[in-house]
Amino acid sequence: MLSERRLQVLRAIVQDYVGTEEPVGSKALTERHSLGVSPATVRNDMAALEDEGFIAQPHTSAGRIPTDKGYRLFVDKLAGVKPMSAPERRAIQNFLDGAVDLDDVVARTVRLLAQLTRQVAVVQYPSLTRSTVRHVELLSLAPARVMLVLITDTGRVEQRMVDCPAPFGEASLADLRARLNSRVAGRRFADVPRLVEDLPEAFDVDDRGTVSTVLSTLLETLVEENEERLMIGGTANLTRFGHDFPLTIRPVLEALEEQVVLLKLLGEAGDSGMTVRIGHENAYEGLNSTSVVSVGYGSGGEAVAKLGVVGPTRMDYPGTMGAVRAVARYVGQILAES
């Protein structure tokens, strides 16, 4: 096991490297942190840390930089989450309070996170399946054409066109609308399939085909992967990545465009509490030199979606984690109010 001082050395290395973006040497360390020992001792400690794989040298005779494993230890044991200051918290709240609808909430959240962390922000829309049905609306657009609109308690709205196999009268439509809402309103979307299973049976034979079509469109809308949406922002912050970034930035931008990749990334993160994935811990190759900090948010106790940031492994973990947590908390409040 590593001695207390060696852990302190590691902490100092991470902090300095995050600050200066340059490999840190033994002498600089003793000058900037009062470790109470000489550079030579620190050198021995560094050699030990390197043996254990927590730090590495870019070249012989350069300072050390933390490895992914080093950051991991730092995040798990050596650093806490830095809480936001009171003015920061107020600013967050004010900024989010002005939103007019869910799109606006998500858009503002993305901007806010990107600004606070100076990194790329990712915010998932509240999941349909984990939300509650507020209302299902059916509109007749043509004799055999219906628009289906789903509204959740988090304010999310989805619409789908349905081409009916047979003309569908206004009366039948109203009937279906009423029956549907009385069964599912206030219930969780996840339960909807079960709740509407036998609905066609209540209708005339003529209408059953149409009712089934409408219901199957409804169920399709709820299929995971299709129903997940997200918004990203702050990509301009990628330019602060490093000096070599033509090669670094490219795969990251590509990953960000692939919503599937991002959704998977967020999906893999733990469901409760904050998750930090460092460098190679990310399954997607393009993100091997980035860290992802994510957390679930929701209107009540349960998370309805996730949000987080993507940044260089060399990031200010305590600060970033603090910002992510605070934003998630306030977004949850906003959603609960709406």
Partner DNA sequence: CCTGGCACTCTGTCCAGCCGAGTGCCAGAG
Partner DNA sequence: CTCTGGCACTCGGCTGGACAGAGTGCCAGG
Binding interface with DNA (CB under 7 A): 5, 23-28, 36-41, 43-44, 46-47, 50, 57, 59-64
Work out the number of other CB atoms within 10 angstroms of the CB of residue 119.
28
Residue 47 binding: pick among its own copies, DNA, none (C-beta 5-8 Å cut-off by kind):
DNA
In this structure, what token pair is assigned to residue 207?
């209408």
Residues 160-219, interacting with its own copies (CB under 8 A): 160-161
Q: Is the separation of the CB atoms in 13 and 26 below 8 Å?
A: no
Residue 233 binding: pick among its own copies, DNA, none (C-beta 5-8 Å cut-off by kind):
its own copies
Output the DSSP codes for 117-184: HTSEEEEEPPPSTTSBEEEEEEEEEETTEEEEEEEETTS-EEEEEEE-SS---HHHHHHHHHHHHHHH
Residue 166 binding: pick among DNA, its own copies, none (C-beta 5-8 Å cut-off by kind):
none
Q: Is the separation of the CB atoms in 232 and 122 below 8 Å?
A: yes
Which of 62-70, 85-93, 155-163, 302-310 is the region at the interface with its own copies (rule: CB under 8 A)?
155-163
Least Å distance between CB 319 and DNA? 24
Which of 26-34, 60-68, 84-92, 227-235 is the region at the interface with its own copies (rule: CB under 8 A)?
227-235
Total number of residues binding its own copies (CB under 8 A)?
34
User: Of 3, 20, 38, 159, which one interacts with its own copies (CB under 8 A)?
Assistant: 159
Work out the number of other CB atoms within 10 angstroms of the CB of residue 178.
11
Residue 329's nearest CA partner among 132, 80, 112 is: 112
**In 169-264, which ranges are E strands?**
230-233
Residue 63 binding: pick among its own copies, DNA, none (C-beta 5-8 Å cut-off by kind):
DNA
Q: How far apart are CA 309 and CA 73, in angstroms?
A: 20
Nearer to its own copies, 101 or 204 (CB): 101
Nearer to DNA, 64 or 277 (CB): 64
- The DSSP bridge partners found for residue 65 are 56
Torsion angle, alpha carbons of 290, 322, 22, 58, to 10: -40
Output the DSSP codes for 284-333: SGGGTTEEEEEEEE-SSSS--EEEEEEEESSS-HHHHHHHHHHHHHHHHH
Residue 62 binding: pick among DNA, its own copies, none (C-beta 5-8 Å cut-off by kind):
DNA
Q: How far apart are CA 14 and CA 8, in angstroms?
A: 10
Contact call for residue 141 and its own copies (CB under 8 A): yes
Contact call for residue 246 and its own copies (CB under 8 A): yes
Per-residue binding string, its own copies, 28-67, x by CB under 8 A, is: ----------------------------------------
Angle at 127 between CA 124 and CA 129, to 5 degrees: 165
Residue 82 binding: pick among DNA, its own copies, none (C-beta 5-8 Å cut-off by kind):
none
User: Of 254, 271, 285, 302, which one interacts with its own copies (CB under 8 A)?
Assistant: 254
Residue 246 binding: pick among DNA, its own copies, none (C-beta 5-8 Å cut-off by kind):
its own copies
Site residues (vs its own copies, CB under 8 A) = 100-101, 103, 134-135, 137, 139, 141, 147, 149, 151, 155, 157-161, 229, 233-236, 238-239, 243, 245-246, 249-250, 253-254, 256-257, 338
